[in-house]
């Protein structure tokens, strides 16, 4: 069962998609650490990759490796993407999805980690402070495997401020949250400290505000 076979709510339209097949794909993004990112390929498949090494310090215990889709401000949305961990699996391995990103220090972070603990695997809020958990439930962690692609789906409902995250299994979520702090903002990808890849991004939403972000940097093609 593919993600795209899942029902999309009435009134939602496809506002963004990216498979990184174009040489101009990086222009859709702004990065907190541009040198941490590149477009890579495996045989004929191209994807966005981060090396897990930030060139800046966030200033507090929060992700420093962030890449946002910088021309779409969204509130309610459904996001689908493929994610792959490229490091040997350990209990702390993580990749992240960001939403409601207002600037470099105000956003939600969905951290998908191999093992849940007080600092890992959940939905976190950053407000110019160290990240703190706002998910009301998460499972015990996910298995990245050995350089294996995984399907991820995030459904954000503005009316009840709910967030539901799925990993491979599109019927049973791996984490949920109800938090009203931040509403509109940019979406993005990244990590706390690990290397990974992102591909086949699709975003459905009732509307998207086409406003250019004024934070982070555009990475120029080499």
Note whether 59 and 67 are within 8 A (CB).
Answer: no
pLDDT digits (tens, 9 = 90+) for 116-129: 998 899 999 999 88
Judged by DSSP in three states, 206 sits in coil
In this structure, CATH architecture of domain 11-205: Sandwich (2.60)
pTM beyond 0.85: the answer is: yes
For residue 45, the surrounding DSSP H or E stretch is strand 45-50
pLDDT digits (tens, 9 = 90+) for 16-61: 999 999 989 999 999 999 999 999 998 899 999 999 887 666 555 6
Report d(CA 121, CA 82) in Å as an integer: 18
Residue 3: phi, psi to the nearest 5? -65, -40
Q: Is 39 exposed, middle or buried (0-12, 13-18, 19+ CB in 10 A)?
A: middle
Q: For the chain, which ranges sit under pLDDT 50?
A: 1-5
Domain ranges in the chain are: 11-205
Measure CA 85 to chain center. 13
pLDDT at residue 59, rounded to an integer: 56
């Amino acid at each position: 069962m593919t993600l795209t076979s899942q029902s999309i709510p009435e009134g939602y339209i496809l506002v963004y998609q990216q498979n990184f097949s174009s040489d101009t794909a990086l222009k859709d993004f702004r990065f907190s650490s541009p040198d941490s990112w590149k477009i890579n390929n495996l045989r004929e498949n191209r994807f966005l990759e981060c090396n897990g090494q930030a060139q800046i310090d966030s200033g507090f215990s929060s992700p420093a490796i962030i890449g946002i889709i910088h021309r779409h401000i969204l509130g309610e949305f459904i996001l689908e993407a493929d994610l792959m961990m490229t490091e040997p699996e350990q209990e702390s391995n993580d990749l992240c999805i960001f939403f409601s990103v207002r600037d470099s220090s105000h956003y939600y972070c969905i951290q998908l980690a191999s093992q849940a603990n007080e600092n890992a695997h959940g939905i976190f809020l950053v407000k110019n402070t160290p990240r703190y958990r706002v998910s009301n439930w998460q499972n015990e962690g996910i298995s990245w495997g050995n350089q294996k692609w995984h399907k991820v789906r995030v459904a954000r409902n503005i009316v009840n401020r709910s967030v539901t995250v799925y990993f491979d299994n599109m019927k049973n979520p791996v984490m949920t949250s109800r938090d009203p702090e931040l509403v509109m903002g940019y979406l993005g990808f990244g990590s706390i400290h690990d290397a990974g890849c992102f591909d086949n991004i699709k975003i459905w939403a009732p509307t998207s505000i086409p406003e250019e972000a004024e934070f982070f940097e555009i990475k120029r093609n080499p």
